[in-house]
Amino acid sequence: MGPLVGFLTDVGVESARLLDKMSIYVLFGLLVAGALHTYVPSAWLVRNLSGGRLWPVVKAALVGIPLPLCSCGVLPAAVSLRRDGAGRGAVISFLVATPTTGVDSILATYALLGKVFAVYRVAASFLAATVAGIASTLTSPREQVQTTQDEPCECGSCSLPEEAHPRDRLAAMLRYSFVDLVGDIGKWLVIGLVIGGLITALIPDEWVESYLGSGWVAMLVMLAIGIPLYVCSTGSIPIAAALMLKGMSPGAAFVFLLAGPATNAVTVTFVARYLGRVTTVVYLASLAVSSLLLGWLLDRIWAHWQWGPLDLAVEGHEIFPGWLTASASVVLVALIGFGWLARRRGPTGGGEPLTSAGYASTVVEVSGMTCGHCERTVRAALVVDGVLEVRVSAEDGRAWIRHRADVPPDTLVERVRAAGYPARIAPDSESTPASGSRRE
């Protein structure tokens, strides 16, 4: 038990150090992200990113950089943009820029990897998004996109009317920052911290230096890992920091930070469905080439100035007293724990059963749900005329719908697919939610 306890202690200590350095920045980033989400109208996004060919691509990258959406949460926004007139290039640019940055991840990058890496990450994400968007525009024919008027979003602050009381808007902002958004990134942040601690405690420096130290091979390996993997932009930072401390080049770490959040299997499926196979190939190829070239350039910058792996990271951490960073770590852990317990409690209250006279029950299997944002998006897609109750669980990958008998189940499936998630009617469509399911 002695060596095992020592190993687990080392992992815990290293993970806690990473958390201590980034927690205060993450909390501040969450607060700013909530303000952007609450006070920037979605109509403004549509108005500025729709129409045209090349200029909306650039604007989509600029707008997407600070927005607090992960690689799954960005899909519903992309669907809305597409339906309201945005071209393929603008949608692709938005899909790349938005999940790779975000205010919270920019500040966390500054905390763990330094100001140079943070600035470079923002600039490189903008460049990669713009290149992917322009390439998608140039390889697709001119198009006239029919705009549609869908049901309004029902995910908290998005549904607040313009004349809402400032107190209500503030409450919505705080809820989004410290409940919804923490619920979205909390699990992946914990996973990233634990993996970072494991890398630091378990993997020898010589192994990383020998196999993943620098060069094109290291960047290609991180690209192959990052493209299919779901990882949020904030949760990927502790992993990159631990690998750099072990000897991985900044360029290879950057490739992982760009390709990981920008793509995953669900995003690729979405692009193929809504934008076509040619655009999907162009999107992936552009992102891969941009990641590798930008990683190579970052290595050249690092070598020119002869910086160590994380020489610049300590500057941001030392401006705050130890008691403040420790308090921020406790608060962040408490928020993550509260969100986890709230999701595990599941539905409250009794209510009517899912099936009753004159009504039917349909269970839809939904792929790609990874967070509370996904649950809210699927639920909003299913709230249509004739639907009485919707329960959605990302953990189970299912949605339970009670609806009038004249509402075709296939219509419900199409609504979920239209929101960007692969779906089908479950074989056991008359089942009821598990105890861990979440009732919205």
- Same domain as 49, residue 127: yes
| Residue 15 included in any domain | yes
- Same domain as 82, residue 181: yes
- Same domain as 164, residue 307: yes
Range of the domain at 133: 2-322
- Please check the confidence at residue 338 and state whether its pLDDT lies above 70: yes
Residue 404 Cα to chain centre, angstroms = 35
Instruction: Report residue 431's pLDDT band, with 50, 70 and 90 as the boundaries.
Output: very low
| Residue 354 included in any domain | no
> Tokens 């299912």, residue?
398
pLDDT digits (tens, 9 = 90+) for 257-292: 999 888 877 778 778 877 888 999 999 999 999 999
pLDDT the model gives residue 355: 47
- Same domain as 316, residue 388: no
pLDDT the model gives residue 40: 73
pLDDT digits (tens, 9 = 90+) for 184-239: 778 777 887 888 788 777 777 677 767 777 788 899 999 988 887 767 788 888 88
Give me the amino acid identity at 322: G
Given 322, 345, 372, which residue is the final one in a domain?
322
Written in H, E and C, the secondary structure of the chain is CHHHHHHHHHHHHHHHHHHHHHHHHHHHHHHHHHHHHHHCCHHHHHHHHCCCCCHHHHHHHHHHCCCCCCCCCHHHHHHHHHHCCCCHHHHHHHHHHHHHCCHHHHHHHHHHHCHHHHHHHHHHHHHHHHHHHHHHHHCCCCCCCCCCCCCCCCCHHHHCCCCCCHHHHHHHHHHHHHHHHHHHHHHHHHHHHHHHHHHHHHCCHHHHHHHCCCHHHHHHHHHHHHCCCCCCCCCHHHHHHHHHHCCCCHHHHHHHHHHHHHCCHHHHHHHHHHHCHHHHHHHHHHHHHHHHHHHHHHHHHHHHHCCCCCCCHHHHHHCCCHHHHHHHHHHHHHHHHHHHHHHHHCCCCCCCCCCCCCEEEEEEEECCCCCHHHHHHHHHHHCCCCEEEEEEECCCCEEEEEEECCCCHHHHHHHHHHCCCCEEECCCCCCCCCCCCEEC
| Residue 338 included in any domain | no
**Which among 381, 261, 368, 250 is positioned nearest to 309, based on CA atoms?**
250
- Same domain as 99, residue 24: yes
Number of domains in the chain: 2
- Same domain as 280, residue 373: no
Nearest-angstrom CA–CA distance, 408 and 401:
12
pLDDT the model gives residue 83: 67
CA triple 95-340-192, angle to 5 deg: 55
- Same domain as 401, residue 263: no
pLDDT the model gives residue 437: 39
- Same domain as 364, residue 314: no
| Residue 67 included in any domain | yes
| Residue 47 included in any domain | yes
pLDDT the model gives residue 309: 62
- Same domain as 278, residue 364: no
pLDDT digits (tens, 9 = 90+) for 47-103: 767 666 788 899 889 988 887 676 666 776 776 677 667 788 988 999 999 888 888
Q: Comparing 66-80, 183-197, 303-317, 388-402, which segment has the lowest mean pLDDT?
A: 303-317
Nearest-angstrom CA–CA distance, 395 and 344:
10
| Residue 431 included in any domain | yes
The domain spanning residue 367 has which CATH number? 3.30.70.100
- Same domain as 133, residue 260: yes
pLDDT the model gives residue 42: 65
- Same domain as 220, residue 149: yes
Q: For the chain, what is the mean pLDDT?
A: 78
- Same domain as 169, residue 89: yes
- Please check the confidence at residue 351 and state whether its pLDDT lies above 50: no
- Please check the confidence at residue 315 and state whether its pLDDT lies above 60: no
| Residue 342 included in any domain | no
| Residue 231 included in any domain | yes
pTM of the shown model = 0.72
